[in-house]
Structure 1
Amino acid sequence: MKELIETIVKPLVDYPDQVSVEEKSDERNITYLLSLNKEDIGKVIGKQGRVIKAIRTVVYAAGTSHNKRIHLEINE
Structure 2
Amino acid sequence: MKALIETIVRPLVDHPQDIAVSEREEDTRVVYHLQVHPEDAGKVIGKNGRVAKAIRTVVYAAKANGNKRIYLDIM
Whether 2:35 is the aligned partner of 1:5: answer: no
Secondary structure of the corresponding residue to residue 51 of structure 1: helix
* In structure 2, C-alpha distance between the alignment counterparts of 1:24 and 1:50, rounded to whole Å: 25
Count of residue pairs the alignment pairs up: 74
Structure 2 runs not aligned, ≥5 long: none
Q: State the Cα distance separating 1:62 from its structure 2 match.
A: 0.4
Whether 2:19 is the aligned partner of 1:15: answer: no
* In structure 2, C-alpha distance between the alignment counterparts of 1:69 and 1:40, rounded to whole Å: 27
| Cα offsets for 1:34-54 (capped at 9, x unmatched) | 011000000000001000000
Q: Which runs of 4+ in 1 moved over 3 A?
A: none
Q: What pairs with 1:18-57 in structure 2 (closer than 5 Å)?
A: 18-57=18-57
Q: CA RMSD in A?
A: 0.7
* In structure 2, C-alpha distance between the alignment counterparts of 1:3 and 1:43, rounded to whole Å: 19
Whichever structure has more helix as a proportion of its residues is 1
**Identical positions, percent:** 59
Q: State the Cα distance separating 1:27 from its structure 2 match.
A: 1.3
Secondary structure of the corresponding residue to residue 14 of structure 1: coil
Structure 1 runs not aligned, ≥5 long: none
Amino acid at match of 2:9: V
Secondary structure of the corresponding residue to residue 14 of structure 2: coil
